[in-house]
């Protein structure tokens, strides 16, 4: 096998090679983005020594199993990205592969540093908790910032916010704006999809991702196509250790098909036989059947790179608006662009599923309730992030006696309820709303379909270490305006 191919399927070795090569080029302020360039700089003798110096993990350890699954997610995400770019006829390069692969390098590091803690988080995530929130509570910073810090520390290929002067001088290395936008939208989507597929094929989170994928790629059915893509991902990688997670992921998925009864099973007989074979061949010794062992009473804290102080949200001393770490402006712009394209949508359900996904993943709003006006009250009929918050999940707000809700019911209205106006708002809104909010700041916004107000949204950012600010409220209002427009256009 070509040794370049071997290294490309060993992300941990590749990570060290990129770091070594970029340290050699640090005086020239040029980032090495391809493996061939990196290896040419290092030379064969130093490459052999570097390979021999890498410590090995015990195959039966928690760290090995967790790292294998997490690196497997990244390998699957890279394969998905390549296939999606080919569908959209966007050039896919080796540099794009490495940027995608290293997008979640922070998770790899945590499995090496804190395997018992990470195993516990995986166990809790399988039971409905948010993995990122659990990790952020341990490391004291957002997962995205942790990943970015490690990419800078190891000098790994990452998506530039803008093209550098050196890249602009070499047109072949320049990332065009449309491609940069696609990378920033599909990168988090591909990694979240790979992780959620591994967790539970039938979860609500995965259904939401399917809806978003259908919209972004212009497909009528995303779920059946994913079976083909995952099969391709499993066969993309030849080395057994690199392919294990992708192949096991395929083997554990149920048959899927939207065709008639003649093809009801979805997978062919050959596919299912192959899946059964690899499921046994690539089984790992670490299988979670019960709660993982608790870590020692005083676990060693994950080593954190130096944190950069970031100004508080809406600090305008510098003349620029700042945003919370959980806000993803590029993903937000992409979904808003889709909202303005009438040909993108097939039904109001698709619009709503994508809107809820975007509110969580792009605007960093964690608990969302969608209410409809019925029998003199606003009543919840859909939600995200509220499975463990029953008061929000089953929210009912009587309109009679509430001057504010009467206003929301007459016309499109938006409000931001926070500490400094909560006392006044309590006189105009039902107590049930504030009990359900549990002292959280939150947004409200009503929607019109035609000439009637038929829907209202509640959204908060419970669990986020950064408070909601003016920039969040502005983005929320602008996003809801585009969402409302899309609902009315599809109705016509």
Q: 3-state secondary structure string, 133-178?
A: HHHHHHHCCCHHHHHHHHHHHHCCCCCCCCCCHHHHHCHHHCCCHH
DSSP state letter for 28? G
What is the DSSP code string of 394-410? Answer: T-EEE-TT-HHHHHHHH
- At residue 437, the pLDDT reads 94
Interstrand relation of 377-384 and 396-398 (parallel, antiparallel or unpaired): antiparallel
Q: Which of 361, 367, 360 is nearest to 388 (CA)?
A: 367
Contacts for 270 with CB less than 8 Å, ≥ 6 apart: none
Q: Summarize the chain as % helix, strand, coil (round to 5).
A: 55, 10, 35
Q: Which residues of the chain have pLDDT under 50?
A: 1, 162-163, 167-172, 256-267, 271-272, 274-276, 278-287, 289, 297-318
DSSP state letter for 201? T
- At residue 293, the pLDDT reads 55
Domain boundaries, the chain: 62-127+176-258+267-286, 329-336+343-491
Q: Look at phi and psi of residue 326 and say left if phi exceeds 0, alpha if psi is from -120 to 50, else beta.
A: alpha
- At residue 436, the pLDDT reads 95
Q: d(Cα 364, Cα 323) in Å, to the nearest integer?
A: 10
User: Do the Cβ atoms of 92 and 270 come closer than 8 Å?
Assistant: no
Q: d(Cα 205, Cα 200) in Å, to the nearest integer?
A: 9
- At residue 280, the pLDDT reads 46
- At residue 39, the pLDDT reads 76
Q: 3-state secondary structure string, 375-386?
A: CCEEEEEEEECC
Contacts for 416 with CB less than 8 Å, ≥ 6 apart: 441, 442, 443, 468, 473
Identify the CATH assignment for 329-336+343-491 out of 3.40.50.970, 3.30.1490.20, 3.90.1170.50, 3.30.450.40. 3.30.450.40
H or E segment and range at residue 458:
strand 452-460
- At residue 457, the pLDDT reads 96
User: Do the Cβ atoms of 14 and 6 come closer than 8 Å?
Assistant: no
User: Do the Cβ atoms of 369 and 381 come closer than 8 Å?
Assistant: no
Q: d(Cα 225, Cα 219) in Å, to the nearest integer?
A: 9
- At residue 171, the pLDDT reads 42
Distance of CA 462 to the CA centre of its chain: 18
């Amino acid at each position: 096998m070509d040794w370049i191919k071997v290294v490309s399927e060993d992300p941990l070795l590749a990570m060290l090679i990129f770091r070594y090569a970029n340290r050699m080029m640090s005086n020239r302020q040029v980032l090495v983005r391809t493996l061939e360039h990196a290896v040419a700089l290092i030379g064969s003798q130093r490459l052999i020594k570097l390979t021999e110096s890498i410590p090995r993990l015990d195959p039966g350890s928690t760290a090995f199993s967790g790292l294998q699954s997490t690196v497997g997610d990244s390998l699957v995400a890279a394969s998905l990205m390549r296939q999606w770019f080919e569908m959209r006829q966007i050039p896919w390069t080796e540099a794009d592969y490495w940027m995608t692969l290293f997008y979640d390098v922070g998770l790899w590091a945590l499995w090496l540093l804190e395997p018992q803690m990470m195993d516990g988080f995986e166990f809790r995530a399988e039971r409905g908790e948010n993995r990122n929130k659990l990790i952020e509570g341990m490391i004291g910073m957002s997962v995205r910032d942790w990943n970015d810090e490690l990419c800078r520390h190891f000098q790994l290929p990452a998506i530039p916010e803008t093209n550098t002067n050196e890249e602009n001088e070499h047109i072949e290395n320049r990332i065009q704006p449309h491609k940069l936008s696609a990378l920033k939208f599909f990168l988090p989507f591909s990694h979240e999809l790979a992780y959620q597929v591994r967790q539970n094929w039938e979860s609500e989170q995965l259904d939401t991702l399917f809806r978003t994928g259908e919209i972004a790629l212009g497909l009528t059915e995303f779920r059946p196509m994913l079976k083909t893509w995952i099969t391709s991902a499993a066969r993309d990688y030849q080395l057994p250790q690199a392919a294990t997670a992708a192949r096991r992921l395929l083997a554990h998925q149920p048959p899927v098909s939207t065709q008639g009864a003649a093809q009801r099973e979805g997978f062919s007989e050959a596919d299912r036989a192959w899946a059964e074979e690899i499921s046994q061949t690539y089984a790992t010794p670490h299988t979670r059947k019960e709660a993982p062992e608790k870590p020692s009473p005083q676990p060693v804290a994950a080593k954190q790179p130096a944190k950069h102080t970031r100004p508080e949200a809406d600090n305008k001393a510098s003349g620029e608006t700042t945003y919370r770490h959980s806000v993803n402006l590029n993903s937000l712009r992409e979904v808003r662009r889709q909202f303005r394209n009438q040909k993108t949508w097939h039904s109001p359900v698709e619009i709503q599923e994508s809107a809820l996904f975007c509110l969580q993943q792009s605007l960093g709003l964690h608990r969302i309730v969608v209410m409809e006006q019925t029998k003199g009250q606003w009543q919840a009929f859909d939600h995200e992030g509220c499975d463990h918050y029953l008061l929000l999940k089953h929210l009912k707000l009587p309109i009679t006696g509430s001057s504010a809700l009467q206003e929301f019911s007459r016309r499109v209205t938006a409000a931001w309820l926070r500490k400094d106006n909560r006392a006044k708002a309590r006189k105009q809104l039902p107590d049930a709303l504030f009990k359900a909010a549990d002292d959280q700041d939150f947004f409200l916004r009503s929607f019109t379909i035609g000439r009637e107000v038929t829907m209202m949204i509640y959204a908060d950012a419970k669990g986020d270490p950064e408070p909601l600010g003016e920039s969040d409220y502005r983005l929320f209002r602008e996003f809801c305006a585009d969402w409302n427009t899309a609902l009315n256009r599809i109705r016509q």
